[in-house]
Structure 1
Amino acid sequence: MHLSHVKVYNFKSIQELDISLGRYNPVVGYNNAGKSNFLRAISWLLKKSALPESCFHDPSKEAWVEGTVVGVSSAIHLLPENQQQQIEPFIISDQLTFRRIQKTPGTTASLVKLEVLDGSGNWRANPTGIDNALGTMLPEPVHIKAMDDAGDDVSKFAAKNTIGLLIKYALDLARANNQSAMQTVDASLAALGTHLNGQTRIPELTSLESSATQSLASLFSGIDVQIEIPPPSLDEIIKSTTIKLVEQGSNNPRAFADYGHGTQRTVQMALIQLLAKYASQVGSAGNNTVILIDEPELYLHPQAICSVAAALKDLSSGDFQIFFSTHSPMMVGADDAAETVVFWKCPQRGTTYRQKIASALSGISNSQHQTDVIYSLSHSSQWLFSEKPIIVEGKTERHLLPAVYFGATGKRLNQASASLIESAGSGGSIDIAKLFKNLGYTPKVVFDLDFAFKEAPSLNLISPADPNLNSCLQWFAANSSSLGFNLDCTGLPRKGGAMNPEKAYEQLAIALPTECRNIHNLFKPINIWLWPGGAIEAHLGIAKTNAARAQFAALAMAGGGVSHAADPQTLLDFSNWI
């Protein structure tokens, strides 16, 4: 069971939001995009409180957050029979839709209503028993904010914080695996009860009880005073649990709050990692605890960030639904990119988000092309943290273009909010570009010159009757024999000759520079860059070897600029085009 859909209305920077959810929900976006507000909205949906005016996007309107839960049948057994009867009329196709609504700012919590959608599509306000039933199936969330004191979550026990959940799981394991020890604890608590109220009662308590009865008799006879001190239960005892830290080599435990933010955050994330392990050992109960974390990577070493990401993913496979905002690509695995939510803030519409890759793929009809796109995007999640996706055909551009851009501008690509995506060939590049357009980006695509001849005409990106294109085809026909390259049935260079096709296109660019440049200029307005010299190496003036590419990149990244290239002006033009 988990939240499958959330709608947010008039909450902080969010005017209106309607978003599908999974069990594992990374949230990315630039600062002030509204990521934390989205997590707060989910927290408010599951944990009732009165919102101040600052939580209303428009104080003159009501604020509400709606959630749809799927798989309700897996958790309804947790409810007593009367609550099951109360909630069953609202379960439609194993789903339950409810919302938290506050009409005006500054009201009391009693005026914050819970409404449930009935089978007729009408909202029913506060049906009997529903709030308690939801609280059992969807307990209060664990909400860890970026700038909160980690001690509130770790150093002191609470029923729904990290340390509280860990102790609960530890005791559940003890009851299952170490019954004798738990029986000893229960027996000790029972013995404590006899010392307070039973046969072995502390004499001073009995004496106090007798003295109180005598004192009362002087004023009102016929009534005895009986003092009962209930023994504490184990659940009550563990509420006083605290955590202290002891540095290795020291015997002096120190309070958690005495350590710096880095240590506190590291311990906090380590315990969340441990929570994943304990949750898997205890097994499924059927309910769904939502964990909301703002920037879990704060203060953590890169290796620790990867470990925390893995732990959160593990938790999502059990009775936990995970939401976290992040600025770190290490928190989002490439295999999670398709379900990651990218938030941004629109001046007119407030916080909004880009369509998920998973749903945008439906715009690509060919299933093989979908597979190619997914494969290409699975190499990296860096594009989630940029605004300018640049799609390249292969590893050569992916390795060289960061150095070219740095040499030409003195800046790194990420400073231009750009990221490189390696496609599975020229056809895949176009599909990826279409996908990013569907997501609201303006992608740019980089091709070798041969794209204009092999792929572009069939994609209606250039007319087969283009005079520059035909001049080049005529040149191929006239020079193939003398230069030693073979032609296919369309009149284009193919493998098998003394000169390979890549070299043939380079020779074409040397022989007809104006025509090749005209073709290049034809594609620039539609965000496609063709290397007018044939391929990038022709402009760099290097051989097509890894050693030559590495040498050029090293010099450019060391501050050598691009003046050592064969055609520095085209490299500067390319960098400006980005």
Structure 2
Amino acid sequence: MSHLLAEIKIENYKSILSEVFELSAYTPLIGYNNAGKSNILSAIKWLLRRTSLQVNDFNNLDLPVVVEGRIDGITDELLNSILPSHKVSISKFIVDGSLQIRRTQLVPGDSVARIKLQVFSSEATAGSEWVSNPTGIDNALNALFPEPIQIGAMENAEEDVSKSKTTTTIGKLLGEIIGPLETQYGAQVRNVLDELKGIMDADGHSRAAELRQFDTAVNQKIDSFFPDINIKLHVPTPELKEVFNKGTIKIYEHQDSEGRDISSLGHGAQRSIQMALIRHLAELKREEENHNTTTLLLIDEPELYLHPQAIEIVRDSLKALSTEGYQVVFSTHSAIMVTSDDIADAVLIRKTRARGTYKRSTLKSAVPHIEADSASQIGLLFSLSNSSKILFSEKIILAEGRTEQKLLPRLFEAIAGKSMGLHKYALISMGGVASTKKSMQVLEVMDLPTRSIVDLDFGFINAIKDGFLDEEDTDVVACHMIFDEIASSNGITLAQNGWPAKSSSMTAAEAFVVLANQIKAQPHIEAIHQKLLLHGIWLWRMGSIETHLGIVGKNEMVWASFANLMKSSYLPDLIRDYNGVADCINWLIGNEAI
């Protein structure tokens, strides 16, 4: 793609108070219902094709609606491909291949003529950088961006594929093929229409006998009321363009000879046909001589009512379009629409009463702030299994162990009274404590609140490596000394660094459980726990979640048995350290008492 709308700033439009959104060739807008994703799509279209906004389009009636966009990738080759007059109109405003435009409507219902289109000029004096309505700028923009294609929500699918309007997919398709149809069949159709006009027209040269009989019979009756008036029944004949523009879709199933309206199909079938037509429209437009335009394709929830395989087909089709002269911006609730390659460009949309619709930082904008060696961690975090959780949640819980993955959601719901999903939490496996810092860093620069749950050994090894604790921390040093004292008597093997190592009799994790049972170590462990809380990290003070729960083993049988016991048991009696587990759950949901 040679050029695209790379950024859009929207002010006072519907739910959007003021926000800047970065756009790419394939941009998923991800957020909960009513977050304002559709408003972003509409604002993009309004920037490029002005219409008069009404009262409901203004967030604050006392302020104007302003939408500003930056177009990147305007090369000399592109400028040389458009009309010289268009090139002259925009060349002087282009800086480093970019053009900035701004559209403003002051009050609701204002006339289209009063809606300003401004262009940023780097050569203008300070305070007057925006030049209003430069001559020819609208036509020049049309040369770069043809009419955007906006596909609304599912309730519009039937109309979009069955009613021929300039704004519908079927209308656009007919608009693409009407030229060849007129060339090939125009004369033939005109002859037929002229014949029909002669028969049906009030002044037709071959007016039908039935119509003349009707005229005579009615005029005899009118004559008694108005002697000087005659009437003729007139049946207008459509013009050539009207004939071609009345096209619609008929559905044929099981080789039926009689077609049905698309309204007879279910929503899934309607949406499938709609997406197929969009794909065909794209292919037709790619065959046009002008390959230097970029068509914005703005779609609300393209996956709606489709089964998973069909969603994959739609995704692949839209991604193909994004490399073939289309810029695709769409809202979605499906992780299938967003592959790991698309994560960097996904825009997480949220809305609050105070901020209105806003975005979280994209991974693409966050990458410069992430350590260079975090690439593999990004891939792990946003694998297909995790992406749906991360992208569609408000808060992230990172947990190392498989027991947390299996049992923590059940414990969370039992203690908090609502599931993690209702709290908008996602529970993500870190793939080892060595990933804790990098995982948190990736998510936090994306403005995704994150908390981590780790075993006790993290507090003495990885916490120091990651910089959460100092090696000379008094509590760390104290626990180090306790290990020296208890190692030999408890069968603990210490590594050269003085911390437990795996041996034939005990794992390092089991050695830290032994430490947790030492009464003199517990105040120091508690102090380390509190220090890590300041970094958003929960440390299992008794060694691991298994120790707190009172279970032995990490396998499906142990987890299933405990889950079944939870259904019929009083949790404070079932869980060895109920208060410690409850403290963790309450900390996750932000209980101020913890």
1:189 to 186, 189, 192: 186
The SS at the match of 2:341 is helix
Contact residue 64 and residue 104 of structure 2 kept, 8 A: yes
Aligned to 1:487: 494
Structure 1 residue 446, shift from structure 2 partner: 0.9
Contact residue 279 and residue 318 of structure 1 kept, 8 A: no
In the alignment, does 2:522 pair up with 1:514?
yes
Identity of aligned residues (%): 35
In the alignment, does 2:258 pair up with 1:248?
no
1:42 to 41, 44, 47: 44
1:61, 1:479 → 2: CA distance? 71
Q: Deviations over 1:299-339 (max 9, x none)?
A: 33344334333332232222111112233333333432222
Q: 1:497 to 1:168 in 2, by over 3 A?
A: farther
| AA in 2 matched with 1:546 | N
1:573 to 563, 573, 583: 583
1:283, 1:210 → 2: CA distance? 44
CA RMSD of aligned residues (A): 3.7
| AA in 2 matched with 1:377 | F
1:283, 1:449 → 2: CA distance? 66
Q: 1:443 to 1:210 in 2, by over 3 A?
A: closer
Q: 1:415 to 1:209 in 2, by over 3 A?
A: closer
Q: 1:280 to 1:231 in 2, by over 3 A?
A: closer
Contact residue 376 and residue 424 of structure 1 kept, 8 A: no
1:434 to 437, 441, 447: 441
Structure 1 residue 33, shift from structure 2 partner: 2.7
Aligned to 1:555: 564
Contact residue 369 and residue 428 of structure 1 kept, 8 A: no
Aligned to 1:215: none
Q: 1:550 to 1:276 in 2, by over 3 A?
A: farther
Structure 1 residue 492, shift from structure 2 partner: 0.2
In the alignment, does 2:96 pair up with 1:93?
yes
Ranges in structure 2 where 5+ consecutive residues have no aligned partner: 207-236, 589-594
Q: 1:529 to 1:210 in 2, by over 3 A?
A: closer
Contact residue 388 and residue 419 of structure 1 kept, 8 A: yes
2:432, 2:526 → 1: CA distance? 23
1:443 to 444, 450, 453: 450
Q: 1:480 to 1:15 in 2, by over 3 A?
A: same
Q: 1:209 to 1:36 in 2, by over 3 A?
A: closer
Structure 1 residue 395, shift from structure 2 partner: 4.5
Aligned to 1:264: 270
- Between 21-30 and 327-336, the greater mean CA deviation after superposition: 327-336
Aligned to 2:86: 83
The SS at the match of 2:460 is helix
Q: 1:30 to 1:556 in 2, by over 3 A?
A: farther
Structure 1 residue 529, shift from structure 2 partner: 0.8
Q: 1:556 to 1:350 in 2, by over 3 A?
A: farther
Q: 1:52 to 1:119 in 2, by over 3 A?
A: same
Q: Deviations over 1:64-123 (max 9, x none)?
A: 211121223364455333333333333332222222221222211121122222342532
The SS at the match of 2:108 is coil
In the alignment, does 2:34 pair up with 1:27?
no
Structure 1 residue 23, shift from structure 2 partner: 0.9
2:479, 2:329 → 1: CA distance? 55
In the alignment, does 2:427 pair up with 1:420?
yes
Contact residue 407 and residue 563 of structure 2 kept, 8 A: no
Aligned to 1:10: 12
- Between 238-247 and 498-507, the greater mean CA deviation after superposition: 238-247
Aligned to 2:321: 315
1:210, 1:577 → 2: CA distance? 89
Contact residue 400 and residue 549 of structure 1 kept, 8 A: no
2:434, 2:378 → 1: CA distance? 10
Q: 1:296 to 1:58 in 2, by over 3 A?
A: same
1:204, 1:152 → 2: CA distance? 33
Pairing of 1:62-461 with structure 2 (within 5 A): 62-73=64-75, 75-76=78-79, 79-121=82-124, 122-146=129-153, 148-159=155-166, 161-166=168-173, 186-190=183-187, 232=240, 238-248=244-254, 250-259=256-265, 261-272=267-278, 285-364=291-370, 366-378=371-383, 379-381=385-387, 382-393=389-400, 395-409=402-416, 411-461=418-468
Contact residue 340 and residue 379 of structure 2 kept, 8 A: no
Structure 1 residue 504, shift from structure 2 partner: 1.1
- Between 307-316 and 455-464, the greater mean CA deviation after superposition: 455-464
1:389, 1:544 → 2: CA distance? 26
Structure 1 residue 3, shift from structure 2 partner: 0.4
Structure 1 residue 230, shift from structure 2 partner: 12
Aligned to 1:539: 548
* TM-score computed with the length of structure 2 as normaliser: 0.80
| AA in 2 matched with 1:506 | V
Q: 1:47 to 1:558 in 2, by over 3 A?
A: farther
| AA in 2 matched with 1:327 | H
Contact residue 7 and residue 71 of structure 2 kept, 8 A: yes
The SS at the match of 1:431 is helix
* Paired positions, count: 544
| AA in 2 matched with 1:12 | K
1:163, 1:361 → 2: CA distance? 41
Contact residue 144 and residue 292 of structure 1 kept, 8 A: yes
2:14, 2:568 → 1: CA distance? 46
Structure 1 residue 488, shift from structure 2 partner: 2.0
The SS at the match of 1:413 is coil
